[in-house]
Structure 1
Amino acid sequence: MDRLLSWRFALCWSFCASSIRTHVRMRREVSVSELQSALDSLAADDLYVLSDAQVLDRTAFLVQLVNRASAELTRTVRRAETTQAAERDGLKSMRSWLIGHVRLSQTEASRVVRSGRVLEHFPALAAGFAQGVVTAAQVNVVAEKIGAGEVARVAEQGIDLGAFDQAWARVAADSPHESLAAAVQAFKDALDPDGAEPDPTEGRRLTIVKHADGSISLRADLDVVGGEKVQAALESIVQADRPKGDERTRTQQNADALVQLCDNQLASGNLPVLRTVKPHVVVGIDLDDLVDPATGAGAGEMGFGATISAARARYLACDGSISRIVMGPDGVPLDLGRDHRVVTPGLRKAVERRDKSCVFAGCGAPSWWCDVHHLIHWLHGGETNLENSALLCERHHTKVHHGFRVERQPDGRWRTYRPDDTEIRIGAPL
């Protein structure tokens, strides 16, 4: 009799559990369908019939809707992370899954995962996020500053994190974005009034995101000392590179300085070996494409996967090493030629001694920032000798490969011409 009751109970429980799962699945499907229908309805609205007030109200509503959707995404990703759901698709982390399966950028995937972790310690902030009055960017402000280490330190010092949670939720809902950033930074500073731990590398992060066209975006977080070193190095290059008529913004100057800093290090040959060779810029391009001036974009493939135009490849080929690789019809290399340095070290020394700096009018960038440019490209029959060479910094080397021109006169003076053949004359009247 007991076994019969037990069997009946097990059967009943199995049936109930199955019914519950079916109900939950059906309810979830209905909810998703309703949400999709609502979004379809929004997309079908004719915005041109709305008044200014209606457009602004709609904008505010959509911001709140996006916030709520972001909150649900964050909550769901956190659940998937705690259950290691990404293992189902053979991946070790939800960050990897978000990047590979739903095509989030590395930065965005990290933000979602990081936000989900931190919100477990901030229920009031999480509630505001779920209601749509707190943005994903505001949650990220907290997540970037308050990690597991800070939470542990709060517990050690007996601080009531709940009080800050309530305060930050109010600031996030009622004040400008910068107010929350200031409040969180003040909390972190007060948490460790003696300054950061002796190991500064713990707080350093550099994220490199590559875009579809091969360009990259950088996001860096550095400690005070590390940041000071980077600023000092970049500032030295910015201040030394101030040609006449420079119209670059400060952000452009900083970016150029960073590239120049890397260029200097690559040229020095002092960087660590990367897979048996010194690190260098690599471009692969068919000879026909390299020679043909009509070849367009995407002709050359760089070492890290980006593609560049043949014109850009010709610019890089002005002062580099050339390797010949003969490919078979099946794509297998048949013959590998030796590296050939276009500009020999001896020729470079001679060009540096003669020109001393970038010869483009008004520049004067130092020789160690410069390439040796072929006045007539070697691809078009120009000789690699002193008479056919000029010292040009990166920016002006690019200009010369895009319409500008430099010429050396018999008396040794350099003259610079615009694409319309008018001369750039320093100090000439307007």
Structure 2
Amino acid sequence: MLDTVHRWEEEATKAADSSLWPLPDAELLDLLRATHRLQQTVAALQIRVVREATLRELPTKHGHRTPAAWLRDQLRLDHRPARDLAEAAAILQTRPAVERALIDGLLDIRQATTIAAAVNAVPYALSDALAATEPDATAARVPATDSDDPSHLDPDRVANHAESTLIEMAAQFPAYQLRKLGDRILAHVAPEIAELADEAALRRAEARAHPRRSLTLSLPVEGLVRLSGALGVEDAAIVSAALQPLCGPMPDDDRSFPQRRADALIDVCRLALRTGELPHDGGEPPQLALTIPFAPLASQLSIPAQPGRLAAHGRPGQPSAHAQPGQLGVGVLPDDERISAATTRRLACDARILPLILGSASQVLDAGRSRRLAHGALRRALTVRDGGCAFPGCDRPSRWCDAHHLRPWSDGGRTDLDNLVLLCRHHHRLLHAPAGGWQAHLGKDRLPVFVPPPWIDPQQRPRRNLFHPRT
């Protein structure tokens, strides 16, 4: 057998090194299908080899606790492929007919393992469904069938029927669709009990899922915090319903769907913070705290060496009108993670900020009063005027928007209706980006006007948002 495999390897190497450009389209497609079938046949052989090695206890003899760990060592595999290979070898051992279909080219490896898992779950589904019926009322709960054979609900018989049905379906459906069909296979092979089985299976799945829910945030790596976790079906539906309205692309939006979904999650959290309905944290409303050392702040704001209260024209975390981006230093969040001065300035436009000035020994020299810059009647007036994000072409509603200062607060800009404009998070970031090139101001009618950079419109003709009503 080993000589045969070596010959396959030699021939496959020659084929892989051959030029493909002379092949006509039809032959190229035939070659694609043939190589896929060959790959699945080799996968079936590999699974049988792994199974035989496991039966001979080679992983244990080589000092490994599991077949997956042994495969990682022998084949230099990553954790996931090694685990998948070991699990495939184990599960296909229980369904010889499925493995035979894999060898014969009727299935690929993912279809095979999906079918095997679905078929192995059939006896448990039948057991749960029958247990849900009254012992003395089973005949009433389970409708009669045309079959006179009382063994029509025999677990082995039903499982074999499900197996053959799913193998036939594999000619039309990929693995992920077969998984859904497998969940409902009793509707095809035992419809008289399928509804009870589905109910029992769903209850069992929900009970297993609830204690396994989780959400973790990793430590930052290169400016990114990785989120990972798992939610139950009901919880995931709630999250999806909250995110979906914010995931649609905007005009000239070059974000990918995962990026839009990430931004939507942040927008939902920003909205929750803005409502003021979250529980207090340590007796204070949820708020963003930013700290910055006193020395660079003093050099930018011309504060005397013996600091007292902050001068009226300066705010912690924001440079003066003459400061260059980055000169002020970085801001520090409550979890000790640092952010750029540019990000600090952007957050300060419409956030609950608690500014802290620190001396050289990290002592607090001055603590500003927590304040929402645009709130109450001013926020309501801004909402009535702009209707939502005022950037041209954007349809984000007002509740998802920040109040952006047209003239920066650090430059003496006032917090009043004529110096504010509503912007969604995406366009707020764009207005603050040095390379963005967009400018915003109020027109003669006191409504927001946006001027594009010359590389978008060489004539830099002013633009307005036409989505939101003007009243």
Identity score, percent: 22
CA contact (8 A) 2:68 2:83 kept: no
2:118 aligned residue: 146
Q: Quote the offset at 1:124 in angstroms.
A: 1.8
Q: Quote the offset at 1:127 in angstroms.
A: 2.5
Question: Kindly tell me: are residues 314 and 72 of structure 1, through their superposed partners in 2, closer, same or farther at Cα, counting changes over 3 Å?
Answer: farther
What amino acid maps onto 1:413 in structure 2? L
1:424 aligned residue: 463
- The correspondence for 1:202, drawn from 194, 205, 208, is 208
CA distance in 1, matches of 2:48, 2:216: 26
2:15 aligned residue: 42
- The correspondence for 1:192, drawn from 193, 197, 202, is 197
1:345 aligned residue: 371
Q: Quote the offset at 1:151 in angstroms.
A: 5.0
**Deviation readout 1:242-301 (Å, 9 max, x if unpaired):** 99969899968983644533443466684899xxxx89999xxxx9xx99879xxxx99x
CA contact (8 A) 1:74 1:112 kept: yes
Q: Quote the offset at 1:355 in angstroms.
A: 2.1
The answer on 1:175 being equivalent to 2:184 is no
Q: Quote the offset at 1:57 in angstroms.
A: 2.0
Question: Kindly tell me: are residues 309 and 338 of structure 1, through their superposed partners in 2, closer, same or farther at Cα, counting changes over 3 Å?
Answer: closer
**Deviation readout 1:192-243 (Å, 9 max, x if unpaired):** 14452177253577999999996989997854x44553454346x45xx999
What amino acid maps onto 1:345 in structure 2? R
**Deviation readout 1:74-121 (Å, 9 max, x if unpaired):** 66777889979599898989499869x6346x6x77765665554343
2:155 aligned residue: 159
Secondary structure at 2:21 match in 1: helix
Counterparts of 1:388-399 in structure 2, within 5 Å, are 390-399=421-430
Q: Gapped runs of 5+ residues in structure 1?
A: 1-26, 327-333
CA contact (8 A) 1:324 1:337 kept: no
More helix as a share of residues? 1
**Deviation readout 1:161-215 (Å, 9 max, x if unpaired):** 233223322332x334387456423215627144521772535779999999969
CA contact (8 A) 2:118 2:179 kept: no
CA distance in 1, matches of 2:64, 2:408: 51
Q: Quote the offset at 1:313 in angstroms.
A: 8.4
Q: Structure 1 length as normaliser, TM-score? A: 0.58
CA contact (8 A) 1:272 1:279 kept: no
CA distance in 1, matches of 2:238, 2:443: 43
1:360 aligned residue: 391
Secondary structure at 2:94 match in 1: coil
Q: Structure 2 length as normaliser, TM-score? A: 0.54
CA contact (8 A) 1:244 1:363 kept: yes
2:306 aligned residue: none
Q: Quote the offset at 1:46 in angstroms.
A: 0.5
- The correspondence for 2:242, drawn from 228, 233, 238, is 233
- The correspondence for 1:123, drawn from 78, 91, 96, is 96
CA contact (8 A) 2:355 2:368 kept: no
Question: Kindly tell me: are residues 416 and 139 of structure 1, through their superposed partners in 2, closer, same or farther at Cα, counting changes over 3 Å?
Answer: farther
1:261 aligned residue: 268
**Deviation readout 1:34-76 (Å, 9 max, x if unpaired):** 5654443232110112222331221111111332344456667
Moved more, 84-93 or 384-393: 84-93
Moved more, 335-344 or 256-265: 335-344
Question: Kindly tell me: are residues 75 and 393 of structure 1, through their superposed partners in 2, closer, same or farther at Cα, counting changes over 3 Å?
Answer: farther
Question: Kindly tell me: are residues 64 and 407 of structure 1, through their superposed partners in 2, closer, same or farther at Cα, counting changes over 3 Å?
Answer: same
How many residue pairs match? The answer is 371
CA distance in 2, matches of 1:308, 1:72: 54
CA contact (8 A) 1:242 1:363 kept: no
The answer on 1:386 being equivalent to 2:415 is yes
CA distance in 2, matches of 1:138, 1:216: 31
CA contact (8 A) 2:98 2:163 kept: yes
Secondary structure at 2:422 match in 1: strand
Larger radius of gyration: 2
2:441 aligned residue: 407
What amino acid maps onto 2:208 in structure 1? E
1:58 aligned residue: 31
2:77 aligned residue: 102
Question: Kindly tell me: are residues 199 and 339 of structure 1, through their superposed partners in 2, closer, same or farther at Cα, counting changes over 3 Å?
Answer: farther
**Deviation readout 1:109-162 (Å, 9 max, x if unpaired):** 77656655543433222232344431234245447x739765534567642223
Q: Gapped runs of 5+ residues in structure 2?
A: 131-153, 188-193, 291-296, 298-318
CA distance in 2, matches of 1:215, 1:159: 48
CA distance in 2, matches of 1:55, 1:425: 52
Q: Quote the offset at 1:404 in angstroms.
A: 3.4
CA distance in 2, matches of 1:339, 1:91: 58
